[in-house]
Structure 1
Amino acid sequence: MSQNTPDSGSQKPETIPLQKIPEKPITPPLETAEKQKKPNPNQRLVSLDAYRGFVMLAMASGGLAIASAMRNSPEILDQYNGTQWESSWKYLWQTLSYQLSHVEWTGTAFWDLIQPSFMFMVGVSMPFSVRKRKQKGDSTLRIWGHAIFRAVLLVALGVFLSSQYSPQTNFTFANVLCQIGLGYLVVFFYVNRSFVTQLIGVITILGGYWFFFYQYMPVEDELAAVKAYLTDVKHKDAAEWSQFEGIGSAWNKHTNAAAAVDRQFLNQFPRYEEQFQDQKFWVNNGGYQTLNFIPSIATMLFGLMAGQLLISNRIEKMKVKWLLQAGLICFVISMLLDTSIWPVNIEQWEWHLVPIVKRIWSPGWAIFSAGWAFWFLAVFYWIIDVKGYKKWAFPFVVVGMNSIAMYCMAQLIRPWVQKSLKIHLTTLDQATGWSVAGSLFSTDCPYAPIAISATVLFVLWLICLWMYLQRIFIKI
């Protein structure tokens, strides 16, 4: 019997499937990865608290009394006379004194940028606040109710704080809290609306306010009475009300349209000033007006635009780029409106179509100050939230998360803190033989007011630190 065996030559070889080697994921370059990085939409932006805290610390510092120390002790400038440091020393103190004081009328200094920065941050915070309330389940009606309550409370608190050194309630509405409260609901209306809608709102408000000033012609009798009041009662000369000529004269101090409105409006309230002719209120000594809240709405709207940009899912680097570009555009526009802020004085090119005046919040000022606020915010956001360097900002965050508390403390208890420091440090000196109080409160040392101001500010910061550690956050 023969056995059939398969022919080995005709047999097909067995096919072994190849095992697929897993591909190693390609890691994009670091630069590409960073460009594709998008923020967590629910993550709290530390930069907002830090910027707000920086602004509030500056406001509470009172400029560290540097400007007043320079006025009362001009010998500070002479400390290094005849040495190689003479010019540098004088330049340093003159610069500090200028930057930590309000300019007389037109132009700007660092001190003038504090209030617009604070108001700008109010707008930045709005979309975050609304989102948080919606996540909690609040209805639109409830959210609007809270906004109305906040606006009324801010105005009331502003009047209260302005009255602490007055013999009766001081009905003035030019301080920052009143200004925010008066314009708050208008800004709130624009939350979560398109950029174009918000921009149209800004243009309408600033354009309308410019026309309101431009078309105003002072009544001759009222103008004469204002000048008489300033001359006879305040002992001022013509320089007090004649800063500009031509088209710019519409923005002169005390004789502008908003000042005329205040002479009608504020005299409807009980006043404690002595009557001159037929009324009590004539001018605000600093030139600040109630109607400043109208162009201030534009300042907060600029902040609202920035806030909606930051809360969006756009790439972080693009957010920084757009903030910087927005600031640059504001600078260009404001410099085209008023040559007084140009870094170089060109006599042939001088015009004041819309003067940059903080005290009456001219439309030019609203645009110019917003440019700085955009840039400040861009720097804080880039360093803290984009690059991740957060630890250095902790002293600012402590204040930024209790900004209203710091503002109220600076207004209400600063004199009490200073008095208490003197009492207890004097007792310490007597017990130890030291001279801490003697040095700090010395009338002979020209730097003593600066040291006192810095010490009081540190005490206020310590209170904010305690509140932060105890998780106590005062919100309105």
Structure 2
Amino acid sequence: MNNPASSASRVLSIDVFRGIIIFTMVFVNELAGVADVPQWMKHLPADVDGMTFVDLVFPAFLFIVGMSIPFAIQARTNKGDSALDIFKHIALRSLGLLVIGVFMVNAESGYDTAAMGISMPLWTLLMFIYVLLIWSNYPKTLSPALVLGAKLMGVAGLVMLWWMYKGPGDTGMTTQWWGILGLIGWAYLMAGTLFLITRQFAAPATQFFMLALASLALIALFFVLDAAKANLMGVPVLGALAEFNGNNTHGAIVLAGVILSQLFYLPNFAANKFKHYLIFTAVVALLAFASWQVSPISKIWATPSWALFSVFFCCLIFGAVYWVVDVKQQRAWTVFFEPSATNPLLVYILPYIVLSLCGILGFYLRPAFFNAGLAGILWSLGFACVMMGIGALLTRMGLRVKL
């Protein structure tokens, strides 16, 4: 059944929210290498019951992925894609995120450069070059054969880097923890598939409640698998599900984004969007505090209380963005976030590309004076702004990365 979210190709408030998230992600990633900054500007340790704004960045990206799903699927439906075509697209995007995530994780740790015969900065730079060859948007004026050749060159390059990679004891690449992009890939696959299924067989109002129940079911599944984890290790399928457990709450966060997007932009709910928004936000807050009584807040363990509080804060932030951008029509400031809003993957990987180049040249980018305290915070803010500027320049030059 058709479930149009909007006829607009882009929604500015969603774009701005995405841009803010990417900018913050670049900022906190750079800040992670700075000493003597307040604890609230760092990730909390896994066993500390609580969260900082840094612990909100990743779930916020999951949330905005969910908000974008109805628009992306409707756009493909408008082009004539069948449900099977759309599922194939979801699966391929998820696979791309998983592949890039795993390569990025292995570039950070677990390698033995002496056994590889190539420096890790060079290996990393080549990896991103091949990623760009595979997933860049090529001009329609280019020959299809040339585009295919470039993509195949990228695939061959990643295979070569996989073959070259050596860890301790002559081990190869491992999934480790999939990386941020890989975790997003798993969550997107789960949520996108569930949304596609409900969209095909349910009326809009029924679909909304089905998605809400699916979100709660994923959170409930976390509790069940977490309680039984010790007894499930080694059990086929169930043991793998227990190891995969944190992805259930990640998927629930994406579905929550889908739900909020529907409340704001689905015609069936649009007339009372603010009432529905307030009810949804209040219910999430109550569930967050209730889950906190039995589940500590931990971003590392992806606990239900962390997920629900993250959804609550995302609802508040998006509500504020929507009020400023769409209700008050204050839009001049949004231009700053345009590159990370429309070309988020490029802006996200840019710092890694820059740092790889610095590593090859033997140049440490951040001067020692900026390695600690307020100076380091200001450096990290400036660094994020520069990455946004480079991203804007490359976007205007036609370089876009899209899975």
Cα separation, 2, equivalents of 1:445 and 1:208: 42
Does the 8 Å CA contact 1:126/1:188 hold for their aligned counterparts?
A: yes
Residue pairs, 1:344-355, within 5 angstroms: 352-355=293-296
Cα separation, 1, equivalents of 2:275 and 2:219: 25
| Cα 1:63/1:159, change in 2 over 3 Å | closer
Report SS of the residue matched to 1:171.
coil
Does the 8 Å CA contact 1:320/1:382 hold for their aligned counterparts?
A: no
Is 1:206 aligned to residue 219 of structure 2?
Answer: yes
Alpha-carbon deviation of 1:354?
2.0
Letter in 2 for 1:177: L
| Higher deviation after alignment, 385-394 or 452-461 | 452-461
Cα separation, 2, equivalents of 1:258 and 1:395: 48
**What are the superposed Cα offsets for residues 40-68 of structure 1, whole Å, 9 maximum, x if unpaired?**
74262111111111111111113653883
Match of 1:459 in 2: 386
Is 1:58 aligned to residue 18 of structure 2?
Answer: no
Alpha-carbon deviation of 1:414?
3.3
Letter in 2 for 1:201: A
Match of 2:129 in 1: none
Runs of 4+ in 1 over 4 A off after TM superposition: 257-261, 314-317, 417-423, 443-448
Alpha-carbon deviation of 1:186?
2.3
| Cα 1:66/1:102, change in 2 over 3 Å | closer
| Cα 1:454/1:365, change in 2 over 3 Å | closer
Match of 2:285 in 1: 331
Report SS of the residue matched to 1:156.
helix
| Cα 1:445/1:126, change in 2 over 3 Å | closer
User: How high is the TM-score relative to the length of structure 1?
Assistant: 0.61
User: How high is the TM-score relative to the length of structure 2?
Assistant: 0.71
Cα separation, 2, equivalents of 1:444 and 1:119: 30
Residue segments in structure 1 that go unaligned for 5+ positions in a row? 1-38, 71-92, 220-256, 266-288, 339-351, 426-436
Is 1:362 aligned to residue 300 of structure 2?
Answer: no
Match of 2:123 in 1: none
Q: Quick check: which has more Rg, 1 or 2?
A: 1
Match of 2:191 in 1: 187
Match of 2:154 in 1: none
Is 1:102 aligned to residue 43 of structure 2?
Answer: yes
Residue segments in structure 2 that go unaligned for 5+ positions in a row? 112-165, 167-172
Cα separation, 2, equivalents of 1:420 and 1:448: 25
Alpha-carbon deviation of 1:453?
2.9
Cα separation, 1, equivalents of 2:305 and 2:263: 24
Residue pairs, 1:3-402, within 5 angstroms: 41-42=7-8, 44-62=10-28, 65=31, 68-70=34-36, 97-104=38-45, 105=47, 106-165=49-108, 166-167=110-111, 168=166, 169-191=173-195, 192=199, 194-216=207-229, 218=230, 290-313=244-267, 318-338=272-292, 352-402=293-343
1:414 to 348, 355, 372: 355
| Higher deviation after alignment, 358-367 or 39-48 | 39-48
Q: Percent identity between the aligned chains?
A: 22
CA RMSD of aligned residues (A): 3.4
Structure of greater relative contact order (alpha carbons < 8 Å, 6+ residues apart): 2
Letter in 2 for 1:188: G
Cα separation, 1, equivalents of 2:330 and 2:88: 38
Report SS of the residue matched to 1:68.
coil
| Cα 1:213/1:468, change in 2 over 3 Å | same
| Cα 1:418/1:208, change in 2 over 3 Å | same
Cα separation, 2, equivalents of 1:445 and 1:355: 31
**What are the superposed Cα offsets for residues 4-24 of structure 1, whole Å, 9 maximum, x if unpaired?**
xxxxxxxxxxxxxxxxxxxxx
Does the 8 Å CA contact 2:284/2:312 hold for their aligned counterparts?
A: yes
Match of 2:136 in 1: none
Report SS of the residue matched to 1:389.
coil
| Cα 1:449/1:315, change in 2 over 3 Å | same
The structure where helix makes up a greater share of residues is 2
User: How many residues are matched?
Assistant: 326
Cα separation, 1, equivalents of 2:249 and 2:372: 43
